[in-house]
Amino acid sequence: MGYLVLIGTKKGLFTATSDDRRDWVLKGPHALDTDGFTAVAEIYAAACDPRTGQILVGAESPHFGPSVWRSNDLAATWHEPQAAPLAFPGDLPYRPLDFSEAPGTDQPDSERKNTVKRLWQLAFGPAEGLVWAGVEPTSLWRSDDGGRTFTFNHALWDHPDHETWGPGGGGAAVHTIVPDPDDPDTVTIAMSAGGIYQTRDGGHSWTGVTKGITVDYGPDPEPASGQCIHKVARDAGGTFFAQSHGPAYRSTDPAAGWTDISASLPSNFGFHITAHPTRPGTAMAYPVSDAMDRFPPDHRISAWRTDDAGDTWRRWGSGLPTEDYFGIVLRDAACHDGDADPAWYFGTRCGDVWAATDSGGQWHQVAAHLPDVLCVRAMNTAAMNTAAMNTTAVHTA
Amino acid sequence: MDVDVKIPAALAGECGGTRHLTVTLDDGDDLAALLDRIAADHPRLARRLRDEAGNVRRFVNVYIGDDECRRLQGTATPIGPGQAVQILPSIAGGA
């Protein structure tokens, strides 16, 4: 087996394997828990670490709540801690983050408590055992034991900007975590709605870095915070790309600001953006026609590619359907597999998943007719460090 | 007193496959105390039933006798002698 793709959907986790990234074998939905209810759980977050083979999946059962499962054998078996891996501190003042209440307003006298509603993002950091989790309601969590237990990050929760944060249509959540590949203390996160924040001290302090990202859904077109960000990616040279609830942007230093790079994209809206793992300036976007018309532009499902950091984009649709198509690509429903000649992967709300190698030029179907695709992750399992994988398995409990 | 707690099939794997647990309570104990006892022996089962704030999850129903706990005093409902407790997933789950 050469490549493994994790496909998180509205109803369960599917996996696809391939040796050549053209022909795929699909399995699923997988039951992560003993009783099997996770086969229909919502899978918004999945992460795989090609260094160790470790896989983490955040699943949310409408009945039985959220949890984190991990696999050390490429999704063959799954493990879940007895204790809740994430649980809000009981003494934390309740903070409603829903439009039905007062967005961002602390209610210290409320009898209600903050509770983990959904895991939106899991991301391995560069240090052994380091995993970050993005959660609804808007919060960030850190694990130093490979995802078995997570610690709530008070510094982000207490950031004075929090009064400008609110829920996007999907909910109030930290949905994007971009760990620096070399520095475990440096992390970039994004939230809907709220903006982009960075830490350079391991999460002890956070700085808003959303300058230059404009909005058309508030009275101030250039607010200091509160923008609705859909996804952020970092390329191999350290340039960041952001897809907002509006234009796409790039920045070589988010603290200094962002530059609109949507001029040659077909629209000013989308959810996902991915950067090439080894080639600086190359990124992939999956535009959506408009905030009020959320279909693929011209009803043609397609990827859009830049090789000059967003100065120009070109459509890449070879192999994709040519008839009308109405499924869009959500925030985490695309990725690459990390190879120097990577395959790019994306899934849609129609339950289709495609892959194309950078050198091949042609999209091939990985899966069809699944439930809504919420997240896609891929890794080259042939290149995986099997020794590290075996070491990790010893600690499974 | 011993209270019979019926576990739904969808969660039986979390308590070794059994559909019945016997929970020993003191006089005057309420449903929260019963769920705390379950949590001590079966923490993963317990967090399927309640969130970290102690609330019974929205789509989990806990019957005390013939009445769902929300129609009584919620988790503060006292459990009396001879009362059975039944846990059931509610009619929910999405399309």
Taking the domains of chain B in order of start, what are their residue ranges? 2-89
The CA distance from A314 to B58, in Å, is 47
Distance (Å) from the C-alpha of residue A116 to the closest C-alpha of chain B? 8
Chain B CB contacts of A119 under 8 Å are none
ipTM of the complex: 0.91
Q: Which pLDDT score is estimated for A168?
A: 80
Residue A37, chain B, CB below 8 Å: the answer is: yes
String of DSSP letters for A43-68: EEEEEEETTTTEEEEEEEETTTEEEE
CA torsion angle A34 A40 A46 A48 (round to 10): 50
Name A48's bridge partners.
A55
Q: Domain residues of chain A, as ranges?
A: 3-394
- Assess if CATH 2.130.10.10 describes domain A3-394: yes
- Count of other CB atoms within 10 angstroms of residue B17: 11
Rounded to 5°, the CA angle A290-A294-A296 comes to 90
The residue type of A88 is F
Q: Cis link prior to A29 (omega < 30° from 0)?
A: yes
| Contact: B10, A40; criterion CB under 8 Å | no
Counting Cα atoms < 13 Å in the Cβ hemisphere of B45 gives: 29
**Burial class of A256 by CB neighbour count within 10 A (0 to 12, 13 to 18, 19+):** exposed
Chain A CB contacts of B38 under 8 Å are none
- pLDDT per residue of chain A (397 residues) written in tens, 0 to 9: 599 999 999 999 999 999 999 999 999 999 999 999 999 999 999 999 999 999 999 999 999 999 999 999 999 999 999 999 999 999 999 988 766 666 566 766 667 899 999 999 999 999 999 999 999 999 999 999 999 999 999 999 999 999 999 888 888 999 999 999 999 999 999 999 899 999 999 999 999 999 999 999 888 999 999 999 999 999 999 999 999 999 999 999 999 999 999 999 999 999 999 999 999 999 999 999 999 899 999 999 999 999 999 999 999 999 999 999 999 999 999 999 999 999 999 999 999 999 999 999 999 999 999 999 999 999 999 877 554 444 433 333 3
Chain B interface disruption, residue of A34, A37, A63, most B CBs within 10 A: A63
Strand ranges of the sheet holding A118-124, from the earlier edge strand across to the other edge: A118-124, A131-136, A139-143, A151-152
Chain A CB contacts of B44 under 8 Å are 80-83
String of DSSP letters for A114-135: ----EEEEEEE-SSTT-EEEEE
pTM of the model as a whole: 0.94
Residue B89 has pLDDT above 50, yes or no: yes
What ranges in chain B are assigned the alpha helix state H?
Answer: 31-41, 43-49
- Assess if CATH 3.10.20.30 describes domain B2-89: yes
Q: Quick one: closest CA in B to A114, which residue?
A: B53
| Contact: A116, B51; criterion CB under 8 Å | yes
| Contact: B60, A63; criterion CB under 8 Å | yes
The CA distance from B51 to A319, in Å, is 46
Collapsed DSSP state (helix, strand, coil) of residue A152: strand
Minimal CA–CA distance to A176: which of A298, A320, A47, A33?
Answer: A47
Minimal CA–CA distance to A81: which of A61, A66, A103, A62?
Answer: A66
**Burial class of A204 by CB neighbour count within 10 A (0 to 12, 13 to 18, 19+):** exposed
Residue A318, C-beta contacts closer than 8 angstroms, at least 6 positions apart: A356, A361, A362, A363
